[in-house]
Amino acid sequence: MNISSKFESFVQNFNEKFFGFWERFAKEYPALIWLIVIILPYIEALLPFLPLIVIVGFNIQILTPLFGPILSPIFAVLLSAIGSFLGTFTVFLFIRGTFGLRLRQKIENNPKVLSIVRWLENRSSLFIILVMSNPYTPGSLFNYAMSITKIDIKRYFKITFISKTICIFWLAILGVIFQVQENVFSILWVILVYCIVYLIFYGYNKIKHKRKFFLGGEKTMSKKTIADVKLTGKTTLIRVDFNVPMKDGQITDDNRIVQALPTIQYAIKEGAKVVLFSHLGRIKEEADKAKNSLAPVAKRLSELLNQEVKFIPQTRGKELEDAIKGLKNGEVLMFENTRFEDLDGKKESKNDSELGKYWASLGEIFVNDAFGTAHREHASNVGIASNIETTVAGFLMEKEIKFIGEAVENPKRPFVAILGGAKVSDKISVIENLLNKADKIIITGAMAYTFLKAKGLPVGISKVEDDYVDFAKAMLEKAQGKLILPVDHVAAKELSAEAEAKVFDADAMPEDYMGLDIGPKTIELFKNELASAKTVVWNGPAGVFEIEKFSIGTKAICEIIANLSDAITIIGGGDSAAAAISLGYEDKFTHISTGGGASLEYLEGKELPGIAIIEDKCCDDCDCHK
């Protein structure tokens, strides 16, 4: 007997014994079979002990003695889907409930889960369903991550039910194709198919990565801008970011309005009928409308443009429609705060399809120039773009894409990133992404104390995120010297302008003091690290810059960066931008971003919905111009 015959004989004997055992078991304990079939996928949803693909194949096999080879896959699909869905929903209810608080805190301390959380929160339901339908997706990891996102229970239920059903359905189809109900070893073919697919995908990504490395970056298509389309006589909808600070109905800083002027002036010059709109503040109740009207913004814009800006105090309706129809070439109209629509079911913020379609119907061309909301999928950006023929970027959006995108993806080196601010948890994905791209990462601000504690240094009563000390320790090990931490601090016993400030070395912080700024030795250290930098991206202040005595470190960083020769210098919005502007360094940087949250997510390497909707412009060496 040759080897092939011996193997066939072995398989035949094994199958007879396997199916014989389960046939006897099914006759004796039919209820237990049902329980096993449900409990296995239920456990898989809680703990990643076996791939779901193996569990479904096994369920088909053990149900065959009960239902035969035709019906067993159907029952396996139904029962496995029920078990997997119940397990997933158990995780959700447990983590969201008060009894799961301790476990939730532990999960939130897991960098991998947190990376998935940030990624999930900015993806559509359809995209998440497609990902979770894959049987090799780490199911339990996604279950825990989904449970600590901001995704509400209805959406979670829909995503979970559909994805689990699709996943198990396709597994059953594969099971039937390879006849796992007749041959125990056939499940190996099912697994092999998925392994081959993953090897192809893995190989493709490896080749793609090497191509990027050797060619100095991927050949990506840039985005179309307002300069790429004909505007004359066209009603041009421009989404701007006029979310300016207001006090008693007066604008206290018009920087965002000024930044949008090049796009608006170009549209006027080209003879467009210009329709502007923006959000302003948060609208939670009717009383919020009065203090968040765009009327003062329209007035200030009119002064800056030196021409009338017609203001319509509505977000929809006949008055708005008639005013837009009456526009002449080169005229400008602004309608009311888009977030007024949030009073009725958060139609703007939740990208209501009807609202997006309505706003799109008001114009012929859509220009997205609001980088500050590019990380959000709103009716006023994604909703309009989905329902209009032409979507392009404004000049401000183009500038943001150019400077922040190119700085991270194809920087002039050495590339130094400066990350400050209060929380490590806010910048987990940024740190992880930049560790692979930057030559050095300077950690400053309150978040530095979590890293210092991870190194075993005394931090007194400084602000520390204890849940992220392990993460900081892991990043320090992974960085291999890339992370630069403060070596001394300006500290006080309390956070107040009257508190007495003292300087302490990093290894000598008293127990009753809190670090509120970096010290002179750290300033010198940072200066040396930045001296040769050709690209600098800064996000987050070095100390409590609002209080004069604790603003020295932030001022020093501004001065150091401002005096760098032949370097691209970028501030990634937020508090660091506010600090630079308030301290008078606005004109000393190559670019100051207008979007805090958006620039942070861009630094994480995410695709932003407000940028993804903009049409691609062909590269110079492709055939699309011919």
Strand (E) or helix (H) holding 311: strand 309-312
Residue 246: Cβ within 10 Å count? 17
Domain-located, residue 111 = yes
Domain-located, residue 239 = yes
- pLDDT digits over 163-190, tens only? 777 877 776 676 556 555 455 555 555 5
For residues 286 and 195, membership in a common domain is answered with no
DSSP letters along 570-609, please?
Answer: EE-SHHHHHHHHHTT-GGGSSEE-S-HHHHHHHHTTPPPH
pTM here is 0.61
Please, are residues 205 and 218 in contact by the beta-carbon 8 Å criterion?
no
Domain-located, residue 282 = yes
Residue 375: Cβ within 10 Å count? 23
For residues 396 and 421, membership in a common domain is answered with no
Domain-located, residue 609 = no
Cα 520 to Cα 365, 432, 463, 543: the distances in Å are 53, 28, 20, 13
Of 369, 400, 431, which residue sits at a domain end? Answer: 400
Task: Return the pLDDT at 378.
Answer: 94
For residues 290 and 367, membership in a common domain is answered with yes
Domain-located, residue 575 = no
Average per-residue pLDDT for the chain: 82
Mean pLDDT of 17-40: 79
Cα 10 to Cα 3, 64, 189: the distances in Å are 10, 21, 18
For residues 134 and 261, membership in a common domain is answered with no
- pLDDT digits over 471-482, tens only? 999 999 999 899
Question: 572-584 in b/e burial notation, b at 16+ Cβ within 10 A?
Answer: bbbbbbbbbbebe
Q: Dihedral of the CA atoms 557, 559, 561, 565 (nearest 10)?
A: -160
> Scanning the structure block, which residue is given the tokens 């780490």?
138
Of 400, 428, 448, which residue sits at a domain end? Answer: 400
Domain-located, residue 543 = yes
Query: Of the ranges 94-108, 110-124, 540-554, which is most confident?
Result: 540-554
Does 141 or 46 have the greater pLDDT score? 46
For residues 266 and 132, membership in a common domain is answered with no
Percent of the chain whose predicted confidence (pLDDT) is above 90? 43
Strand (E) or helix (H) holding 37: helix 30-46
Task: Return the pLDDT at 370.
Answer: 95
Task: Return the pLDDT at 70.
Answer: 72
Percent of the chain whose predicted confidence (pLDDT) is above 70? 80
For residues 230 and 364, membership in a common domain is answered with yes
Domain-located, residue 42 = yes
Domain-located, residue 616 = no
Q: Which residues are catalytic?
A: 256, 423, 574, 597
Does 216 or 250 have the greater pLDDT score? 250
For residues 394 and 436, membership in a common domain is answered with no
SS3 499: coil
Task: Return the pLDDT at 122.
Answer: 56
For residues 392 and 424, membership in a common domain is answered with no
Quote the CA–CA distance of 574 and 571 in Å, as a whole number.
9
For residues 440 and 382, membership in a common domain is answered with no
Mean pLDDT of 605-621: 77
The structural domain count of the chain equals 3
Q: pLDDT confidence of 117, banded at 50, 70, 90? A: low
Task: Return the pLDDT at 537.
Answer: 92
Tell me, what CATH number does 518's domain have?
3.40.50.1260
- pLDDT digits over 370-384, tens only? 998 998 899 999 999
DSSP letters along 226-279, please?
Answer: GGGS--TT-EEEEE------EETTEES--HHHHHHHHHHHHHHHTT-EEEEE--
Tally the C-alpha atoms within 13 A of residue 72's C-alpha that lie toward its C-beta.
24
Task: Return the pLDDT at 221.
Answer: 42
Task: Return the pLDDT at 226.
Answer: 96
Quote the CA–CA distance of 479 and 47 in Å, as a whole number.
30
- The range of the structural domain enclosing residue 291 comes to 226-400
Please, are residues 404 and 518 in contact by the beta-carbon 8 Å criterion?
no
- pLDDT digits over 324-363, tens only? 999 999 999 999 999 999 998 899 999 999 999 999 999 9
- pLDDT digits over 317-326, tens only? 999 999 999 9
- Least confident span in 234-243, 270-279, 599-608: 599-608
For residues 140 and 232, membership in a common domain is answered with no
Task: Return the pLDDT at 214.
Answer: 37
For residues 146 and 247, membership in a common domain is answered with no
For residues 327 and 189, membership in a common domain is answered with no
Quote the CA–CA distance of 370 and 243 in Å, as a whole number.
10
Of 533, 566, 599, which residue sits at a domain end? Answer: 566
